[in-house]
Chain A
Amino acid sequence: DQQVKQNSPSLSVQEGRISILNCDYTNSMFDYFLWYKKYPAEGPTFLISISSIKDKNEDGRFTVFLNKSAKHLSLHIVPSQPGDSAVYFCAASLKTGTASKLTFGTGTRLQVTL
């Protein structure tokens, strides 16, 4: 049962344009959401996060939007740069006391072309 889904395995965007990566989740108890970026042969690196009490969080070129009623979040990258080419994972957190685990989606491979 995949509780966090990234339905687009890949996305190609031209340099300078907007990249929109989508993520859907099924568990309404998730209260914190994160995006990670992963380059080949490296571990994922944290990009941006959003709490369930917010609907938008911005950090430079990266903005995450959360639509709780639709159980959907998206990551916008504007403008896209070739260095943004990587696999992007969305993740959702479910707290059990102070312990936590992240449930990850299967990832979307973003390619930014010149």
Chain B
Amino acid sequence: KAGVTQTPRYLIKTRGQQVTLSCSPISGHRSVSWYQQTPGQGLQFLFEYFSETQRNKGNFPGRFSGRQFSNSRSEMNVSTLELGDSALYLCASRRWGRDEKLFFGSGTQLSVL
């Protein structure tokens, strides 16, 4: 069974640009969550999607947005990039319901110059 797939693996952008990250969940998993990992801050929750609807949201500015498609694949978009957005962005999928176990992808390392 294929794991969670994130593309691209690495990305370099400059301030003010926008970026789109992609995530394909494990087959059969209908929930996709996004997390940001920075040194010293651990993993911070961005949002969770299920059935193409955002079900939960973390404390990030509106520059961070996402969407989910009918095949459960998800994209995350960050507009007007700032230096502080440099981080590892992790996508995780799970079956919907009480099963809390998240399966993470390897992440997209975003560097903003």
Contact = CB atoms under 8 A, between A and B. Distances in A.
- The answer to whether A and B assemble together is yes
Interface string A77-111: 00000000000010101001111111111110000
A100 B90 contact: no
**Residue from B42, B102, B105 with most neighbouring chain A CB atoms (10 Å):** B42
Contact of B102 (A4, A42, A102, A107): A102
Nearest to B33: A101
Interface of B: 4, 33, 35, 40-45, 48, 50, 55-56, 58, 90, 92, 96-98, 100-107
B101 A49 contact: yes
Nearest to B58: A101
A34 B90 CA distance: 17
Contacts of A89: 42-43
B81 to A, nearest CB: 22
Contacts of B101: 34, 46, 49
A42 B92 CA distance: 12
A89 to B, nearest CB: 6
Contacts of A97: 55
Interface of A: 4, 6, 32, 34, 36, 41-46, 49, 89, 91, 93, 96-107
Given A49-B100, A101-B58, 13 more contacts: A42-B106, A46-B101, A49-B101, A89-B42, A91-B43, A93-B100, A98-B97, A98-B98, A101-B45, A104-B42, A104-B43, A106-B40, A106-B42
B45 A96 contact: no
Contacts of A6: 42
The 4 closest A-B pairs by CB, nearest first: A43-B104, A99-B55, A106-B42, A104-B43
Nearest to A2: B42
Given A99-B48, A106-B42, A45 B104 contact: yes
